[in-house]
Amino acid sequence: MNEHACVLGIDIGGTNLRVALADLSGKILARTSSTTTNVRDAHSVVAKIRECTDQLLQEVGLARTAIAAMGAGAPGVTNTETGVVVATSYLMGWHDVPLKSMLEDAMGVPVAVDNDVNLAALGESSFGIANGTPNFVFLAVGTGVGAGIILKGELFQGSAWTAGEIGYMLVPGVSEKPAAAGRPGPLESMAGGEGLRLKWLSLWPSTQTKLPKNLTATQIFDGAVAGDALANSLLDRAAYTLACAIHNMTLILNAPLFILGGSVGLHPALQDRTQSAVDAHARRLRPRVVLSSLGSDAQIMGAVRLGQLIAQQRS
């Protein structure tokens, strides 16, 4: 294979690091993933990325010079101009990490970085269900809730790189008290994985449910589908809360498509009930609520796309 014939996509998550090598059309040639549970500081993560990359290059029989560029997603507020990760959640604990320059030094290739939810939106825009849709929102529902926003075909990050931080949105039914640091925000208390887990724990003692005390949000949704009343009320509330957020974003952005992704967001029962609740409030236009077509690969495919864009700029 020629020099500069492939790109690298990196997805740095709170629990997993994924690395993918793709050709210039975005087709994955090889990929690997690795836990980040004990690899949290930025220097260790960069070293791990280098190690994974060398492993992938060896797998496909390519030299480092084959890499044209790389795109990397970070789990936090990211300045895409300077390539600095301003802040991540407490899990990673990063502050002002110059990820772009650290990766460029380590790998010797041009690098672009962005927030991981933004990259999931970019992935769906380029390789997924949003291809050809200029305005849409990717809703990442995992531990918390965040949004990646594509407007006029491009990622919109806002004045200080925090556009889409919707876990703190105020909609009917949420707590109106400012959230304590490190705790779920008002919207994600109702619709995010950690919020749902905490709500289940607090309601469990006073109800007749036969389900166990410790459940993940996805298990709660499974319980709802199987007919458990408490689980059903939590799923309904999560869907209604997300529907309010989608309604509000539709009014503001007039986007016709909302993509549910993330470990909790990919549950089909959530998508189904959210669409119904959205329809009940729809005005001129009924936004479509769909499941991510790339699933857990949305982020990494967005990182590959970012790598492609940098490679195109440089060639």
In this chain, which of 100, 199, 247, 305 binds its own copies, going by CB under 8 A? 247
Question: Closest Cα partner for 238 from 255, 225, 221, 252?
Answer: 221
Binding mask 198-227 for its own copies (x = CB under 8 A): ------------------------------
Q: How many residues interact with its own copies (rule CB under 8 A)?
A: 42
- The CA distance from 67 to 72, in Å, is 14
Within residues 123-142, the interface with its own copies by CB under 8 A covers 134-135
According to the binding rule CB under 8 A, does residue 237 interact with its own copies? no
In angstroms, give the least distance from the CB of 263 to its own copies: 22
The burial class, CB within 10 Å (0-12 / 13-18 / 19+), for 220 is: buried
Please count the other Cβ atoms lying within 10 Å of the Cβ belonging to residue 4: 16
Round to whole Å and give the CA distance between 273 and 198.
21
Residue from the set 170, 201, 203, 226 that interacts with its own copies by CB under 8 A: 170
Q: Which of 38, 61, 90, 176 binds its own copies (CB under 8 A)?
A: 176
- What is the distance between the terminal CA atoms of the chain, rounded to a whole angstrom? 17
Residue given tokens 């949000």 in the structure block: 217
What is the nearest approach in angstroms of its own copies to the Cβ of residue 65? 36
The residue within the footprint of its own copies, chosen from 191, 255, 270, 300 (CB under 8 A), is 255
Closest to 89 in 3D by CA, of 38, 139, 145: 145
* Position 281 contacts its own copies (CB under 8 A): yes
User: Is 13 within 8 Å of 76 (Cβ atoms)?
Assistant: no
The residues of the shown chain that bind its own copies, judged by CB under 8 A, are: 77, 134-135, 147, 149, 151-152, 156-166, 168-174, 176, 178, 244, 247-249, 251-256, 280-281, 283-285
